[in-house]
Amino acid sequence: MKTNGPKAWFLAARPKTLTGAAAPVLAGGTLAFHDQGGVDAVPFLLCLLFAFVMQIDSNLVNDYFDFLKGTDREDRLGPERACAQGWVTPKAMRLAIGVTTCIACVLGLPLIMWGGYELVFVGLLCVLFCFLYTTCLSYLGYGDLLVLVFFGIVPVCVTYYVLAGGVSWPVFVASMGCGLATDCLLMVNNYRDRNQDAVSGKRTLVVRFGREFGLRMYLWLGLLAFILGSLSVCVVTGKWYSCLLLIPYVVLHIVVYRRMLLIDGKALNGVLGATARNIFLFGVLFALNLLVCG
C-alpha cells in the first residue's frame, strides 16, 4: 500500500464506524420532524456532517495515540491500524487530525444560528473528549460511559434541540437507547481485545469483570436499546404497536450475540461488522416507526 495514499486514508477513517455517528442524528432528526411536522434540512445536514467528521477525527486520534502508547502491537486481533502498519506516517496523521478537527468546527459553528451560542460549549466538549477518550479515559474504563454520552445523549438531544428548540423526556429516552446500541460496538472491541488490553494496562469493563461479563453486557446493551427505543416511539406516537418495526433489530442482535458465544479472537472482527450494521438498522427502524406510525 502506498504510504499516505488514498487507500491508506480510507482505511484510517474506518468508514464502518460511521453508522454509530449516523444513527443518533437520524433518530433526533426524525423525532423533531414528527413533533414539528417538518424540519429545516440545512441544520440537520450540518448535524450529520459534524457527527461524521468528528467520528473520523476520533478514529484518527485513536490510531495515532494508540501507536504512540504502543498499544497496537504485533499481537493485535482487531483490524490493522494505519500508523502501526506504516500506511500513514505519524507526521501526516498529526496534520490530518488538525485538519479534521478544524473541519468539524467549521461545520458545527453555523448551528449557533438555530441553537444559540450554547452549542459552542457543546462542540468544544466533543472535541475535548475526542482526545481525552484515547489518551486517558478509555484506559481507565470510562469508554462505555463516553459512548453513551457522545454517541447517544449529545447527538440525539442536540439534533432535536437545534431542529425543534427544546428537549422532551421521550427524546432523552431515545438518546439513551441510541447510546446503548452504539456501545455494543465498543463492547465487541473490548471483549475481543481483553487479553491484550490487560497487558497494555487498559482497564476496560471486560478486563475488570471478565469474559462472561462482556458477553452478558453485549446482550443486555442491545436488549435495553430495544426497550428504550420502543418506549420512546410508543410515547411519541401514542400507539402501543408502533414499536413493532424495531423487532428485526433485536432479533438480529440476539443472532449476533449467539454467534459471539461460539467464536473468539480475530473471528470477532466479523461480529464487529454485523454490530455496525445493527446500529444503523436501529436508527433506520426507529425513524421508520415514527414516520409510519406517527
Over residues 195-215, the pLDDT tens digits come to: 888 888 889 999 999 999 999
Q: How do residues 170-202 score in pLDDT, each as one tens digit? A: 999 999 999 999 999 999 999 998 988 888 888
Q: How many CB atoms lie within 10 A of CB 277?
A: 14
Q: Which of 11, 130, 127 is nearest to 62 (CA)?
A: 130
Closest CA to 290 of 41, 36, 42: 36
Q: How many CB atoms lie within 10 A of CB 89?
A: 14
Could you read off the pLDDT of 15-40 as tens digits, one per residue?
A: 888 888 899 999 999 999 999 888 99
Q: What is the CB neighbour count within 10 angstroms for residue 78?
A: 15
Higher pLDDT pick, 75 / 41: 41
* pTM of the predicted protein model: 0.91
Task: Count the alpha carbons within 13 Å of 139 in the hemisphere toward its beta carbon.
Answer: 13
Q: Is 136 a residue whose pLDDT tops 90?
A: no
- At residue 73, the pLDDT reads 59
Q: Given this model, what pLDDT does residue 128 score?
A: 93
Nearest to 130 by CA among 109, 102, 110, 107: 102
pLDDT recorded at residue 201: 83
The DSSP output letter for 224 is: H
Give the pLDDT band (50/70/90) at residue 2. confident
User: What DSSP designation does 294 have?
Assistant: -
Q: What is the pLDDT of residue 277?
A: 92
> Is residue 114 within 8 Å of 40, Cβ to Cβ?
yes
User: Which three cell numbers, joined as nine digits, stand for 78?
Assistant: 482487531
Identity of the amino acid at 158: V
The predicted structure's pLDDT at residue 293: 76
pLDDT above 90 for 231: yes
pLDDT at 109: 94
Q: How far apart are CA 243 and CA 167, in angstroms?
A: 21
Distance of CA 100 to the CA centre of its chain: 17
How many other C-beta atoms lie within 10 A of the C-beta of residue 265?
Answer: 10
Amino acid identity, residue 118?
A: E
DSSP, res 262 = T
> Residue 16: what residue type?
K
pLDDT tens string 54-69:
999 999 999 998 888 8
pLDDT digits (tens, 9 = 90+) for 237-256: 888 887 888 999 999 999 99
The alpha-helical segments, DSSP class H, found in the chain are: 6-13, 18-36, 41-69, 82-85, 90-108, 112-115, 118-135, 143-148, 154-164, 169-192, 194-200, 205-209, 211-237, 247-260, 268-293
Specify the pLDDT at position 294.
65
Where is average pLDDT lowest: 72-81, 123-132, 196-205? 72-81
Mean pLDDT of the chain: 91
Residue written as cell 482526545? Answer: 131
Give the residue carrying C-alpha cell 493485535: 76
Task: List the domains of the chain with CATH numbers.
Answer: 6-293 (1.10.600)
Query: Is the pLDDT confidence value at 78 over 80?
Result: no
Lowest mean pLDDT among 15-19, 87-91, 113-117, 121-125: 15-19
